């Protein structure tokens, strides 16, 4: 299974933000996802 931005985004949506009212993606805390050689940056 290849790592895609969509998969990473869905996984990051399970991480609560600092105020626990939403996830870090919906709160705008993730600005960019870069994938190279199967590694996520």
Q: What does residue 20 show for φ and ψ, rounded to 5 degrees?
A: 60, 20
Residue 1 has a pLDDT of: 72
Supply the range of the domain harboring residue 20: 1-41
pLDDT 10s digits, 19-38: 888 999 999 999 999 999 98
Q: What is the pTM of this model?
A: 0.82
Q: Which of 1, 29, 31, 34 is nearest to 16 (CA)?
A: 29
User: What does 23-40 look like in DSSP terms, one character per residue?
Assistant: BTTTTT------EETTEE
Domain tally, the chain: 1
């Amino acid at each position: 299974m290849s790592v895609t931005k969509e998969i990473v985004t869905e996984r990051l949506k399970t991480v609560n933000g600092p105020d626990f009212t939403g996830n870090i993606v919906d709160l705008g805390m993730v600005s960019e996802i870069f994938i190279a050689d199967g590694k996520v940056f």
